[in-house]
Structure formats: structure tokens, C-alpha cells
Amino acid sequence: MGSSTMTPRSALPAIVAALSIATAAPPAAALAATGERASGEPTGRFTALTYNVAGLPAGLSGSEPDVNTELISPLLNAYDLVLVQESWINPDPPIPGLEVFHEVLVSQVTHPHLSEPAPPPLGSDPRRPDALVSDGLNRMSRFPFSELTRVMWDNCFGGVDTSDGGAADCLSQKGFSVATTAIAPGVEIDVYNLHGEAGNTPLDQQYRAAGLDQLAEFITARSSGRAVIVGGDFNLNTDRAVDREVFHAFLAATGLTDVCGVLDCGDDADRIDKFVFRSGGGVTIAPLTHRFERETFRRADGTPLSDHDPLAVTFGWTVRAGGAPTPGDGGNRPGGPGPKGHGVAPPARPVVAVPRFTG
């Protein structure tokens, strides 16, 4: 359920059996800066973080969440908006030996706005009866946001038996979530968080592409003409031709731009953890910095706190006087490829606007 390069742990069948029985940054002073241009247009900046925190039970995680999650928690306070993947709450009553760590993750955060985690289905979701855990998508914010909408991918591949090459994706309700976030009074951005299908089989590749098509349709239906930021674990290695084609098709369908199509991300441009964005609704947004916070999110001995590095992007924003739409709002930006051939989206293709179910 993690990155497309992760191998599910051999402990998974024992975990499933037990569940079946049980259920028979930058400096803080620089953050969230707001002001006004000489023209009178409101302007500001904020820093967003996306982080796959590897919060599966300790025997399954690609990290050591029983040790690391408590260390991660206070570090999140340096960021205005935090999107996390693989962060689940424990069932009530808890299942001994199968602890997950969302409660620990938020125990030291100071963000006033937190998402309500989805409860674990523990096999009760008829749409995906093998799912034992929810989507693992949560957020912490210094800005108020609307009620969170969660959408599960239409398809998944991989269960308990990983001999078929799957990455156990069907054991979760993986997908994406969205909430409208008010970064200043009257200044709204639709912020999406996602966790893409993992694994490297042909079916995984097919379902990853289908998932981004599903997300593109949802963005077209829900966020037409609006400013949008999408962050998360895309599970796309865009230095591979097949993944790059899928990613660029998603950008084209939504009018979004890869942050690394605007900034020079160097060797980090093709990492699976990404932010993409577009302006809209009179709100112009643009990335100012892109950095993986490798040195911050480490133990004292240098061990990383997750099997993913957290990605921080600082965005600047401006509202045009009178709220008039910015040229290009909600659509593509003109121009050729960005650094290393990344991200300014090619001309948009029409997309059928079909809302999806929420979970």
C-alpha cells in the first residue's frame, strides 16, 4: 500500500488473520505571510508539506512508526498545510498487536484545523470487501477548510497473497480527498491529497492511470474554474516513459502544472511525492520553493523517519483587485516544457464530468 517500489511484509497474512478474528519547513515566522501589493491586491504565501508517514503496523510498515511517529509530530508545526498518507486511526476497541499511529501523529501538532480520520472498515465495505484500513489520507492546517470529501479509487489490485506481484492495495480504501481551504478571508483553494495505486505489475500500471483519469474527472466536475493544489504520493516515477505519459495526460486533462515544471527541482524532479497546481477564481498561485526535508525528518542517528522523504513547497498567492479572473484561470499555462521536460501541461483534452462516490 506504500510506494510502487515497496515489497509488502511477510507478516501481512498474520495481521489479516487477527483482524478477521476481531471482526467476525521554513522558519515559523515566515509562514502564512499575508499583505498587500502596491496595487491594493491581497497577497501572501504559505508552505505546504506532503508526507507518506509509513503508518502501517510496525511489522508491515516500510519504516518504524512505533518509534518515528512521535518524532514526526512536532516537526509538522513548521508548515501551514500538511497532507499525510498512510496515517490511520485505531479501531474501537483496539486490536492488540495491530496498532496504527494517527493519534500519535497529531498528538503534538498545533494546527487548529485537523481532518476527521475515516474509521477502519475492517472488511465491512461492500465496494471493497478486502479493505481492512481506510484511505490513510489526513491533513493538518493553519487555515480553515470545508468538510473533507473522500473518494476511493474505482479499481485496485493486490491482496493478502502477494505472490501475484501485487502490493496489497485492495486491503485499503486508497484514493484521494479534497477540501476547500480558505488561505485568507475570501481566498479559496481546492486542496487535494492522494495516494496512488502501488506495485509494478501491468494491472497496477493500468489502475494507476485509471485512478488519475478518475481524479481528473472529479476535478473537472468539482473544481471548474477554481484554484487547485494536488499533493501526495502519486506512485509515478516520471523518469519512466510509461509513468511520464500518464502524468502528463493528467496535467493536460486538468490544466494543472507540475511544480517542477516551474522550478528547477534537479534530481528530485521525478520523485513519486509531488505537488501540482493551477490558478483560478481570481486567485493566482505560484510555487516559490521546492525541497525535500531530508535533514529535518531524521532521528539523531541520521535514520529517516519514514520510507518517504517529506516534500515542502512554498506557494505565493495574489488576488486580483475585484476578484476578476486571472488570464488562464482554471486552464493551462502557455509555454514549453519546464526543467528536464517537466510539467507545463500540454493543451487540455475535454473530460467527461462524472462525479464519483465518496467514502
The C-alpha cell at 223 is 473544481
Q: What is the pLDDT of residue 2?
A: 56
Question: Residues 41, 196: contact at Cβ < 8 Å?
Answer: no
Pairing of strands 311-319, 283-292: antiparallel
Residues 6+ positions from 292 with CB-CB distance below 8 Å: 268, 271, 273, 309, 310, 311, 312
Q: What is the pLDDT of residue 353?
A: 30
Tell me, yes or no, whether 2 lies in a domain.
no
Tell me, yes or no, whether 115 lies in a domain.
yes
Residues 6+ positions from 172 with CB-CB distance below 8 Å: 1, 131, 132, 133, 134, 135, 136
CA 100-105-106 angle, 5° bins: 125
Question: Residues 97, 59: contact at Cβ < 8 Å?
Answer: no
Q: What is the pLDDT of residue 331?
A: 47
Tell me, yes or no, whether 349 lies in a domain.
no
Whether a cis peptide bond, with omega within 30° of 0, leads into 129 is no
Cβ-count burial 241-262 (b if 16+ within 10 Å, e if not): eebbebbbbbbbbbbbbbbbbb
DSSP 127: T
pTM summary value: 0.85
DSSP 152: E
Domain count, the chain: 1
Tell me, yes or no, whether 3 lies in a domain.
no
- Tens digit of pLDDT at every position of the chain (359 positions): 655 443 333 344 344 334 433 333 443 433 567 787 766 689 999 999 999 999 998 878 888 999 999 999 999 999 999 999 999 999 999 888 789 999 999 999 999 999 999 999 999 999 999 999 999 999 999 999 999 999 999 999 999 888 899 999 999 999 999 999 999 999 999 999 999 999 999 999 999 999 999 999 999 999 999 999 999 999 999 999 999 999 999 999 999 999 999 999 999 999 999 999 999 999 999 999 999 999 999 999 999 999 999 999 999 999 986 654 444 455 433 333 455 556 654 433 333 332 222 33
Tell me, yes or no, whether 7 lies in a domain.
no
Q: Give the span between the Cα atoms of 6 and 183, in whole angstroms.
A: 35
The C-alpha cell at 80 is 501551514
Return the SS3 of 278.
strand
Q: What is the pLDDT of residue 32?
A: 62
Tell me, yes or no, whether 72 lies in a domain.
yes
Backbone phi, psi, residue 275, to 5°: -125, 135
Tell me, yes or no, whether 6 lies in a domain.
no
Strands of 59-204 (E only): list them: 81-85, 113-114, 138-141, 149-152, 175-184, 187-195
Tell me, yes or no, whether 122 lies in a domain.
yes
Cβ-count burial 305-325 (b if 16+ within 10 Å, e if not): bbbbbbbbbbbebbbbeeeee
Among 326, 306, 11, 290, which residue's Cα sits nearest to residue 171? 11
Return the SS3 of 29.
helix
Taking the CA atoms of the chain, what radius of gyration do you get in angstroms? 20
Q: What is the pLDDT of residue 322?
A: 60
Enclosing domain of residue 135: 12-341
Q: What is the pLDDT of residue 58?
A: 84
The domain spanning residue 277 has which CATH number? 3.60.10.10
Q: Give the span between the Cα atoms of 5 and 3, in whole angstroms.
A: 5
Q: What is the pLDDT of residue 320?
A: 82
Return the SS3 of 170.
helix
Tell me how far the alpha carbon of residue 230 is from its chain's centroid: 7
